[in-house]
Amino acid sequence: MAEEKLTSRSENYSDWYNELVIKAELADYSPVRGCMVVRPYGWSLWENIQAALDRRFKETGHTNATFPLLIPKSFLEKEKEHVEGFSPELAVVTIGGGEELEEPLVVRPTSETIIGYMYSKWVKSWRDLPILINQWGNVVRWEMRTKLFLRTSEFFWQEGHTAHATEQEAREETLRMLDVYADFAINEAAVPVIKGVKSETEKFAGAVMSTTIEAMMGDTKALQSGTSHFLGQNFAKAFEIQFSDKNNELQYAWTTSWGLSTRMIGAIIMTHGDDKGLVLPPRLAPIQVVMVPIYKNDEEKSKVMPIADGIFSQLKNAGMRVKMDGREEVTPGYKYNDWEMRGVPLRLEIGPKDVEKNSVALARRDVPGKEGKVFVSQEGIVATVQTLLTDIQAGMLAKATAFRDSNMFDPKDFNELVEVVQKGWAVSHWCESKECESKVKESTKASTRCIPLDQTESQGSCIVCGKPSKRKVIFGKSY
């Protein structure tokens, strides 16, 4: 059961987050430093995320497979940037069956290498391409500072790995999957995201180009919520993924990879959560409607429960995820707070007065207090609830989008940029040099988040050095 009040977001955002994850029973700390236990409620949420994504992957022609957890250490060393990027965070297995291993194995930090190795075996002809595979699994990256869902040493994700005959096809795939992520984030999670390209310093180790969906959290920090990489021929060359084209000429394949992790749960928490707890978008919520029956004694109970059960069945049969909270050892008030902590989008109360008046009370989680509570007729309850859930989903997206937009700024000069990145994002022209990027980071702790894809080129000058620039970038502090 959820316990007493949360630390408020304004008091200490970080404490608020940590307490919320524990009290909503999404996850718990494990005995292994930096690892987490995802509890049933958190995992149900993840399963709904998986289902929504998996459907989209299948619709775009991908199939699932699984590759090993352990990878020969030498594989990681085949791609120069890749090894440099990942070496510091590898977990390495040196002993197996009591014997020192001839070659150490690394616990996968990501699977480009082993999948590249397999693809080289499977790809001989242009007819073998494209290969469009996704894997659901876990990976391990030894992290210095961890935080549940946002950064843990082991995390759960999906990683898509594709190989193509042409550069153009691979580039299209990269952007197609970025679109899938953005569509998922916006329409399922109600998390407004900006699609963009990562700078050279921020990109994936081994990629030619990394793209991202960036979301703004409730404290205005940015969270990279999904990434899609164009890997060029880097991994194809490292693992000799070669094929004969139609002219019988040997070519290296072009590959992509893309991933979205349980970090998305952190994004949902920090995009929608409030001081009472979690607020979940109806489309992903493990429980969409919680029913709280109210009665003082057996007589009232015998009048209320048959009607409550009838409504429960109607909602259930309509395909809604509904739960009846029939606990008798806690008061209704306790239950309200309990389910608010867990972010259930809609609460349905039914008591003796409702039985008399043929009504029920509906309280929406995204609109706190009396304002979000309405009394409606029991007639047509399924349609009423469905409409409300749709409204909540749309309302959450609108609210989050308005919040983000009101915290994006267009600073006039460097001094103003330094100011605005303390309270939100700066969208500014940038010459795309590492020098200017690191100057901003050193003086503000804000990094480049992405160069938004949906922007029209405009003539401007770099906010740092003043050199000509055609594109704007987002600067912001990030998780």
Partner RNA sequence: CGGGGUGUAGCGCAGUUGGCAGCGCACCGCGUUUGGGACGCGGGGGCCGGCGGUUCAAGUCCGCCCACCCCGACCA
Q: Judging by DSSP bridges, how do beta strands 63-64 and 131-140 pair with one another? A: parallel
**Rounded to the nearest whole angstrom, what is the least distance from the CB of residue 336 to RNA in the complex?**
4
Please state, in angstroms and rounded to a whole number, the distance separating the CA atoms of residues 267 and 156: 15
- C-beta closer to RNA: residue 33 or 423: 33
- C-beta closer to RNA: residue 129 or 270: 270
Please state, in angstroms and rounded to a whole number, the distance separating the CA atoms of residues 131 and 243: 12
First to last CA, the chain: 30
Residue ranges that bind RNA, judged by CB under 7 A: 1-6, 14, 18, 29, 33, 85, 88-89, 141, 143-147, 150-153, 155, 157, 202, 204, 212, 224-227, 259, 261-263, 276, 294-297, 328-334, 336-338, 340-341, 347, 349-355, 361, 363, 369, 373, 445, 478-479
**Rounded to the nearest whole angstrom, what is the least distance from the CB of residue 175 to RNA in the complex?**
17
- C-beta closer to RNA: residue 252 or 366: 366
| Chain centroid offset of residue 395 CA | 19
**Rounded to the nearest whole angstrom, what is the least distance from the CB of residue 1 to RNA in the complex?**
6
Residue 248 has what DSSP assignment? S
- C-beta closer to RNA: residue 295 or 414: 295
Residue 249 has what DSSP assignment? -
Give the start-end residues of each E strand in 282-358. 289-293, 322-324, 346-350
**Rounded to the nearest whole angstrom, what is the least distance from the CB of residue 207 to RNA in the complex?**
9
**Rounded to the nearest whole angstrom, what is the least distance from the CB of residue 311 to RNA in the complex?**
13
Residue 211's contacts (CB-CB under 8 Å, 6 or more residues apart) are: 174, 175, 178, 195, 196, 197, 198, 227, 228, 229, 230, 450, 453
- C-beta closer to RNA: residue 123 or 450: 450
SS3 311: helix
- C-beta closer to RNA: residue 65 or 330: 330
Residue 161's contacts (CB-CB under 8 Å, 6 or more residues apart) are: 111, 112, 115, 119, 131, 133, 134, 135, 255, 256, 257
- C-beta closer to RNA: residue 111 or 120: 111
**Rounded to the nearest whole angstrom, what is the least distance from the CB of residue 73 to RNA in the complex?**
19
**Rounded to the nearest whole angstrom, what is the least distance from the CB of residue 407 to RNA in the complex?**
19
